[in-house]
Structure 1
């Protein structure tokens, strides 16, 4: 029986790419370096701040000066993490629908709690979200199933009675590793050359609003 929906955060629940782009380009502009295109940044957000910094400064982790750039980027992002961030189109209605069905919803993300928690507060989601599991709360991050197991424990819902929604292969792998049904978000931050169809998810949605009929269908099939 479907009782809960768990979401990845960046690229699935929230469209955070505009704020990542703004922070990166502010740093590049101050150094008189070429600015980065939003579309290119968007493709890298699911791989975290390190990937975004590497894109902008053409440096890799471990190279001289990289860590200072990363630290500056993260501090700047924390100061403006909800300026242009929004729910994906159709996601507000989807959350309303989940709640109307009497189900809980939560978040399992690789985004550290330092950013996740104030972001949820700024977006007015902290009181609605039944659980928000970050890497800080576990030993192993996705695609390991530990974060999903912890989320399910916190909401008192067996993994078999929940579904995990994400925009990256590791999300689908994490859900499958936890023996949970999965939904791939083709609308999210899918890397160039990748395809949501190749991840092995149980379902694929092309927009957030597609989750509404899918969840209704899954609930109806249980009655």
Structure 2
């Protein structure tokens, strides 16, 4: 039996509510391209899919054409200019992180967001120096759903996968966590859309609120063999 000593979080839709700023960047780009803005409710479920997913929402098939590179650059420039305008930790996250630290445990971030966006965002929110490890989408050659970023986070902090849990709000997060051999939880408060069926992803549990994670951390974890 292993105590859960390292808690890893996805970033967008799990640790930080970045949807307001990402939606603002998309609508600003739509306006610049002569399109009508989209309702926030239509954009929010797609934020975890990054720039590519948001461009598909905003521009449809046009977002996947040869012009997509220009649109992606323009979107990311707009987003980078206002990374933390309205982005904040989800309600309950600040208290959860403090409790993890007070217990002498460690927490970190594993995200597919590139480092040039991840690290400034965490710094602006005062979380960068508190995280035991930050693994971005360009830290390694592999990204989630590959388990390599999660295993790398474990190696950097000296924790075994069986001592680690991962929390995310996308199916690829659960797939990566399971493949890494760690208990994995779905943040239902994140950016899930009607096409998502998290109860079918094989997660250890579904979390309605960050507080729901704590009872699971308080119980020893069974040893899981890494494939």
User: Which band: TM-score by shorter chain?
Assistant: over 0.9
TM-score (norm 2): 0.92
The reply on whether 1:99 has 2:130 as its aligned counterpart is: no
The reply on whether 1:185 has 2:187 as its aligned counterpart is: yes
**Structure 1 residue ranges without an equivalent (≥5):** none
Question: Is contact 2:162–2:221 with CA below 8 Å preserved after alignment?
Answer: no
Structure 2 equivalent of residue 111 of structure 1: 113
Given the superposition, is the C-alpha separation of residues 90 and 154 from structure 1 closer, same or farther in structure 2, using an over 3 Å criterion?
same
Structure 1 equivalent of residue 44 of structure 2: 42
Question: Is contact 1:2–1:163 with CA below 8 Å preserved after alignment?
Answer: yes
Paired with 1:12 and 1:133, the residues of 2 have a C-alpha distance of 15
Question: Is contact 1:140–1:147 with CA below 8 Å preserved after alignment?
Answer: yes
Residue 219 of structure 1 deviates from its aligned partner by 5.3
Paired with 2:16 and 2:184, the residues of 1 have a C-alpha distance of 18
Structure 2 equivalent of residue 15 of structure 1: 17
**Structure 2 residue ranges without an equivalent (≥5):** 223-227
Structure 2 equivalent of residue 77 of structure 1: 79
RMSD of the TM alignment (CA)?
1.6
Q: How does 1:142-221 map to 2 (within 5 A)?
A: 142-216=144-218, 218=219
Paired with 1:159 and 1:64, the residues of 2 have a C-alpha distance of 41
1:11-58 alpha-carbon deviations (Å, 9 max, x no partner): 000000000111111122233311111111111111111111121122
**Paired residue secondary structure (1:2):** coil
TM-score (norm 1): 0.94
Size of the alignment, in residue pairs?
220
